[in-house]
A and B are shown apart, each in its own frame.
Chain A
Amino acid sequence: MRYSYYPGCTLHSTAIEYGWSTEAVCDALGIELVEIEDWNCCGASSAHSLDPRLALTLPTRDLMHVQALQADIVMPCAACYGRIAAADHKMRTDPAWRKEMEAEFQTAYIGAARPRTLVDVLGNDLPAEALAAKVKRPLNGLRTVSYYGCLLIRPPDLTNRWDDPEHPTVMDRILRTLGAEPLPWAHAVECCGASLALDRADVVAVLSGRIVQGANDAGADCIVCACPLCQANLDSRQKGISRKVPVLYLTELIGVALDLPGRTKWLAKHLVDPRPLLKAKGLE
């Protein structure tokens, strides 16, 4: 299994533990990640808010860099995925635009590489038995809720429905393979407030607060997510919540189950420290 790999800016900074755990887990599972040569930022929500052309040209530069490899592009971050999928969709559906971009970047767009989320690859490409075979420390007794947020599974026009946009199941399936106990809850696809984290922190506090409270009410030990922005918002907006709920990346829990040594480093990065929970479950 070989993929082009687009980490995105946050996996080198605020979500460094997601970056580390993604690389370690993929390595352990035999998933080869070929990092895109000299990749640039996708533009996130700022480019499409202010500049519709830039919102397409920035991710198109990244797309053009993977044409030679012809392997699907895997992205851990939901926001990067949304932007790169939108740019890819435009290339596939607008021939005039494609021609213009091919001239701009002096590269032919082949289209063999499809943008994919890391969760999609781990849940739909990797056979469950292959994952199960690598589990050394099953996450027995760990009650989780899977949190998808928005752009990981929406809009269906861009995601091709790799998971159901209203009732996604792939993360639960992976967690069950790891031995955890995913719980049903109602907030899996609610938005955390995303990019308003800095400029309208009050809005994010309300939206993320409600999600964390929902996880609390469902009786979850932790929230499992697959997006740096979601993780940061949920992790940081727990004021006034009776019981703080650690917010872990899916890859971190896979790393714990696979007994990967790097995990001590990752788990130290969280605001709500997950280590006491894991210790209590015998998973330190």
Chain B
Amino acid sequence: MKRIGVFICHCGINIAGTVDVKRVAEAIRDYPGVVLATDYMYMCSDPGQSLIRQSIKDEHLEGVVVAACSPAMHETTFRKASAQAGLNPYQTEIANIREQVSWVHQQDKEAATQKAIEHIKTIVEKVRYNESLIPLALSLVKKTLVIGGGIAGLQAAIDIASAGYPVVLVERSNRLGGHVAQLSGVYVNFDAARDLLQSKLRAVQENPRIKVFLQTEVEELGGYVGNFTARLKHTADGQITYSEQAFGAVVVATGHSLRPLAMFGEYGGGRYPDIIDALTFERMLAPDGPTGGQIRRPSDGQVPRQVVFVQCAGSRDPEHHMPYCSKICCMYTAKQAALYRQRVPDGQAYVFYIDIRSQGRDYEEFVQSAMTQHDVLYIRGKVARLYEEDGKVIAWGADTLTGKPIEVEADLVVLATAIMPAEGAVELAQRLRIATDEHGFFSEAHPKLRPVESLTAGIYLAGTAQAPKDIPETVAQASAAAAKVLSLFSQRQLVAEPTIAYVDEELCSGCGLCIPACPYQAREMHPWKHKAVVHEALCQGCGACVVACPNKACKLRNLTPGHVLAMMDAYLAEV
């Protein structure tokens, strides 16, 4: 009988606080085939892993069960540890007694302990029948698709192409540069946004490895990491054409949009020309903008003498708008107010804010300089209502520190409207098969440890498509995404999991039912044998073919009917 070792992790108190791990070890020790059952505080730690390695050698283990957290967390860790001790990694399996046991049964310790024991027994059965497998080797297309031509997409394209790999950069609009192209000067040094962008645009234009497609969207993305196929939709010159290309990696950098003024009823709902959003004010400040950098109010072209800036317009407002902080508004409002004061020295700028969030090098000093050097009046309080009367915009605000209502007669009001995902972000996410959060921002694989990867291998995220962020953060994330692509491309070929489907040719009748059942187009009929064959690079091991096959010829490696029946027997056995 196969010699199996069981290693039970406390995960601190995460598991041991609910599951009686000692009793579990006790109960498993007598189970057929189990030659060792032991527990440890943190199995994923170095001492924990070396305990596993040492036990494999000392006890001549032929199979390992680690009862711990979800396999999504540490299956790779423990399989590597086993391999280091000379055991085929596919002889090691995880019994998830954290997410599936301790975390969900905190109220009933006795039942949780019992469930953990049953859970481990089934996985012991699985390991008993596991075969030793060898990972698959797949080809790798070393070419990247970058979606979005803003500062994030430009930076990612430049970094990847500079390392010697070809990039296709697609942009939905008819120009590159995204929102940065619309800005005036940037905080904290008032550098012209135009100059910053020009250096990036030049780098893109001068790099022969970057091919730019304007007015182009991704219509469809098939395949998998290393071997994606993208169908691109080109709408230039009023004609719609399509093209198809293969890529090994994708960087999604589709940027953001702003909460429309129409959503703010109490701020005029877009009815009043002299209540504008901050991006419109940026265009006013920008030398290449409609007023040539002159600050003029839209209604009558006059220079506004009193300007009110309203922060958090639609941010931090779970009741009517977005619950999150848009992150960049505190900083650009300070910049806009300072620039206004520079250009209209006898003008007065008011900033209504709830909190000032100025985390970044020199950021706090910058806000302070807006208050002191540029004489911007900061008032802590939200504006309740804006309306126009006699050519003025009346702002009803309040000062939280005195508790008094305040009324300002402004010539111009600038709203720092909330940052939202770009239009069509959710639909794009569906086409790319990546996840979004409840607002439509693309989700990263792990908030702390994998912040630039999507949960789909080979697809990376950059810039405000993921969450509100400013230019330096966006550029840093784009470079990080590029580094991920380059690390992928540094391999000669890709290694894939061998735990996929196979066809027992003796049982296959060639009925072909498995071909439409496969959601990954990983099945075809052998031209002359008339048996189904698995395209190993495309198969994801989902098991749809197993269900479809009337002859039980389709099987998953290490999850055969034999495995499943043995596991069920163990689960359903009387304790």
Chain A residues proximal to chain B, CB less than 8 Å: 164-167, 186, 214, 217
A57 to chain B, nearest CB (A): 29
With A and B bound together, what is the CA distance between A166 and B266 in angstroms? 6
Q: Which listed residue, A165, A186, A214, A217, touches B265 by the CB 8 Å rule?
A: A165
A165 and chain B: residue at smallest CB distance: B265
A167 and B265: CB pair below 8 A?
yes
A189 to chain B, nearest CB (A): 9
With A and B bound together, what is the CA distance between A214 and B388 in angstroms? 12
B385 and chain A: residue at smallest CB distance: A166
Chain A residues lying within 8 Å of B385, measured Cβ to Cβ, are 166
Chain A residues lying within 8 Å of B46, measured Cβ to Cβ, are none
B564 to chain A, nearest CB (A): 45
The yes or no answer to B271 lying at the interface (CB within 8 A) is: yes
B388 and A186: CB pair below 8 A?
yes
Taken residue by residue from 380 to 398, chain B's Cβ proximity to chain A (1 for < 8 Å, 0 otherwise) reads as 0000010111100010000
With A and B bound together, what is the CA distance between A217 and B390 in angstroms? 9
A166 and B269: CB pair below 8 A?
yes
**Apart from A164-B269, A186-B389, A214-B389: 5 A-B pairs, beta carbons within 8 A:** A164-B265, A165-B265, A166-B266, A167-B265, A167-B271
B383 to chain A, nearest CB (A): 13
A186 and B394: CB pair below 8 A?
yes
A60 to chain B, nearest CB (A): 28
Residue of B266, B269, B387, B394 with highest tally of chain A CB at under 10 A: B387
With A and B bound together, what is the CA distance between A7 and B390 in angstroms? 39
Chain B residues lying within 8 Å of A217, measured Cβ to Cβ, are 389-390
With A and B bound together, what is the CA distance between A217 and B385 in angstroms? 20
Chain B residues proximal to chain A, CB less than 8 Å: 265-266, 269, 271, 385, 387-390, 394
With A and B bound together, what is the CA distance between A186 and B265 in angstroms? 13
Chain B residues lying within 8 Å of A165, measured Cβ to Cβ, are 265
Chain A residues lying within 8 Å of B269, measured Cβ to Cβ, are 164, 166-167
Chain A residues lying within 8 Å of B388, measured Cβ to Cβ, are 186
Chain A residues lying within 8 Å of B394, measured Cβ to Cβ, are 186
With A and B bound together, what is the CA distance between A35 and B266 in angstroms? 37
B394 and chain A: residue at smallest CB distance: A186
User: 17 A-B contacts, Cβ less than 8 Å apart?
Assistant: A164-B265, A164-B269, A165-B265, A166-B265, A166-B266, A166-B269, A166-B385, A167-B265, A167-B269, A167-B271, A186-B387, A186-B388, A186-B389, A186-B394, A214-B389, A217-B389, A217-B390
A172 to chain B, nearest CB (A): 13
B314 to chain A, nearest CB (A): 14
A190 and chain B: residue at smallest CB distance: B385
Nearest 5 A/B pairs, CB to CB: A166-B265, A186-B387, A186-B389, A166-B266, A167-B269
With A and B bound together, what is the CA distance between A166 and B387 in angstroms? 10
A258 to chain B, nearest CB (A): 32
With A and B bound together, what is the CA distance between A64 and B389 in angstroms? 46
Chain B residues lying within 8 Å of A214, measured Cβ to Cβ, are 389
Chain A residues lying within 8 Å of B265, measured Cβ to Cβ, are 164-167
Chain B residues lying within 8 Å of A166, measured Cβ to Cβ, are 265-266, 269, 385
A264 to chain B, nearest CB (A): 36
A197 to chain B, nearest CB (A): 22
With A and B bound together, what is the CA distance between A13 and B302 in angstroms? 53
B388 and chain A: residue at smallest CB distance: A186
With A and B bound together, what is the CA distance between A248 and B235 in angstroms? 58
Chain B residues lying within 8 Å of A167, measured Cβ to Cβ, are 265, 269, 271
Chain A residues lying within 8 Å of B390, measured Cβ to Cβ, are 217
With A and B bound together, what is the CA distance between A217 and B394 in angstroms? 15
Chain A residues lying within 8 Å of B271, measured Cβ to Cβ, are 167
A235 to chain B, nearest CB (A): 23
With A and B bound together, what is the CA distance between A165 and B384 in angstroms? 13
With A and B bound together, what is the CA distance between A57 and B265 in angstroms? 34
B389 and chain A: residue at smallest CB distance: A186
With A and B bound together, what is the CA distance between A167 and B394 in angstroms? 16
B264 and chain A: residue at smallest CB distance: A166
With A and B bound together, what is the CA distance between A164 and B389 in angstroms? 20
B269 and chain A: residue at smallest CB distance: A167
